[in-house]
Amino acid sequence: MQGLEVRSLRKAFGGLTVAEGIDFDLPPGARKALIGPNGAGKTTFANLVTGKLTPSGGTIRFDGADLGALGEAARVKRGIAKTFQITTLFRTLTVRENIRLPILERLGRGGRLFGRAACNAAVEDEIEMLLDQLALISLADKPVHSLAYGQQRLVELALTLALKPRVIILDEPAAGVPSSESHLIVQAIERLPGDLAVLIIEHDMDLVFRVAHSIVVLVNGRILTEGTPDEISRDPRVRQLYLGGAHD
Ligand SMILES: Nc1ncnc2c1ncn2[C@@H]1O[C@H](COP(=O)(O)OP(=O)(O)OP(=O)(O)O)[C@@H](O)[C@H]1O
C-alpha cells in the first residue's frame, strides 16, 4: 500500500498501556484528524509514527516498508515529518532566514552537487515558493519575534514543508492561536500540496471539522471509531465522550 499503514500498534509505559490494537491508514492526499480526550494517547501515537517512541508491539509501514528499525532522522528522510514547535524557531532571524535553514539541512551534502550560484538560486526559489504557499511574502524580512502568534505557527509549518515531507503530522496547529487568526491556519492547511498525506492532531473542533475529510477518535489508547466529519458529529458515543453535543 502507498502511504502510512499502522497495524495492531501497542505501547505500554511500564504497566500503563497507552496504545492498544491501533490500525490506521494514511494514504497520499489524506486529510485525517486524530481527536480524543486529554490523555487518550494522541501524542503518543504521533511519537510512535515519527520514531520518537518505540512501540511495544505492532507494525508501522510506509509505502510497504517496515519503519520499525528506523530512528527519527531516517524517517524524516523517508518523508515523515511532524511540525516544528515555535520554540525551535530562531526568534531574532527573519522568516526567510528561518526557512532557509531546513532547506540547507535537507540538501546537506547533496547541495554540493550543484555549482554554488545554481544551488543558492534554487534554495532562494524554494524559499519564495514556501513564502507564497503560506501567504508569508509580506513578512519575509521581518524577525520572527515581531510576528503575530498565528503567523509564527505558519512559519513552523513552512519549516516542516521545507523538508519536503510526504506525510505531515500537524501537532495542535491552532494551539495558542487567537480565534481572530485561526483562519490563517485553516487556509494554510487547505493550501497544502494535494498529494501530501496530512494527519492533524487538534483540540479545536471547528478547525478539525473544517479541514479534515476523515476523523479518527481515540479513547484510552484505542480507536473508538473513524468516519467522515458528518458521521463523527452524529455518533452518540463521540458526542457524549468528547464533543459534549456541541456539533450539530
Ligand atoms: N513517557 C511517559 N511515561 C509514562 N506515561 C506516559 C508517558 N507519555 C505519556 N504517558 C501517558 O500516556 C497517556 C497518553 O498520553 P498522550 O500525551 O499521548 O495523550 P494525548 O491524547 O496526547 O493528551 P493531550 O490531549 O492532553 O495532549 C497518558 O496517560 C499519559 O500520562
The pLDDT tens digits along the chain (248 residues) read: 799 999 999 999 999 999 999 999 999 999 999 999 999 999 999 999 999 999 999 999 999 999 999 999 999 999 999 987 767 889 999 999 999 999 998 887 444 545 566 568 889 999 999 999 999 999 999 999 999 999 999 999 999 999 999 999 999 999 888 888 889 899 999 999 999 999 999 988 889 999 999 999 999 999 999 999 999 999 999 988 865 544 44
Q: What is the DSSP letter of 52?
A: S
Burial class (CB in 10 A: 0-12, 13-18, 19+), 64: exposed
Could you say which of 3.40.50.300, 3.40.50.720, 3.30.930.10, 1.10.3720.10 is the CATH number of the domain covering 1-79+166-248? 3.40.50.300
- pTM for this predicted structure: 0.90
ipTM of the complex: 0.96
Instruction: With CA atoms as reference, report the closest residue to 132 among 193, 212, 67, 71.
Output: 193
Distance, in Å, from the CA atom of 164 to the CA atom of 33, rounded to the nearest integer, reads 21
Residue nearest atom 4 in ligand 1 by C-alpha distance: 13
CB of 43 shorter than 6 A to ligand 1: yes
Give per-residue burial for 5-41: e unless 16+ CB within 10 Å, then b: bbeebbbeeeeebbbbebebbbeeebbbbbbbeeebb
What 3-state DSSP class applies to 93?
coil
- Tell the residue nearest (CA) to atom 2 of ligand 1: 13
In this prediction, residue 115 carries a pLDDT of 55
Sequence ranges of the domains in the chain: 1-79+166-248, 89-164
Residue of minimum CA distance from atom 12 in ligand 1: 18
